[in-house]
Amino acid sequence: MARRAEFIAAYVRHIDCPVSSVLDAGCGLGLMREPLMRALPGAAWVGLEYSGYLCQRYGWTEGSLAEWRPRKPFDLVVCYDVLQYLDDAAAAKAMANLARLCRGVLYFSALTGRDWRENADQTRTDREVTLRSADWYRSRLKRNFRQVGAGLWLRKGSLLVTWELETAG
């Protein structure tokens, strides 16, 4: 998780995206919090978590990604391996909400059916999930974001600039 957080932070620095606020949507134990805060000094971090137990234990903000509405959007949103735990209707609502939550860079990842068959260590990966195609996720993300690759998406309408060959598709 530390390497993933360092990668995300390196990318936002690479494209000169000013980050004063970070949302870790479905933060769980908050494993990316410290490395993100080290790599993005001065940024405010909010951990959004559905589990009341984890929120009480760690002080995260309790809420559903499908319905949570903060006062203002975040510069960076991390949504790592969360949406496969939601049914299709809730996952679609959560993906639409990501556009309201993010004004800059989104890091998004979810276990897909192909990942389960070809990439996941099935002895260590949670099988109590909804497996969807990558196209299911991409088609919803493309409504409000531009894919730049490696799980990174830029909010359409933001002033963030990438070179053509640094952008997927």
- The string of pLDDT tens digits covering residues 117-127 is 999 899 888 88
Helix or strand or coil: residue 38?
helix
Task: Write b or e for each residue in 83-109: b if 16 or more Cβ atoms lie within 10 A of its Cβ, otherwise e.
Answer: bbbbeeebbeebbebbbebbbbbbbbb
Q: What is the CATH number of domain 2-166?
A: 3.40.50.150
| Bridge partners of residue 47, in order along the sequence | 24
Any idea where the domains of the chain sit in the sequence? 2-166
The answer on pLDDT for 103 being more than 80 is yes
Give the pTM. Answer: 0.95
pLDDT (0 to 100) of residue 12: 96
What's the confidence (pLDDT) of residue 117? 93
For residues 85 and 169, give the distance between their C-alpha atoms in angstroms, rounded to a whole number.
Answer: 28
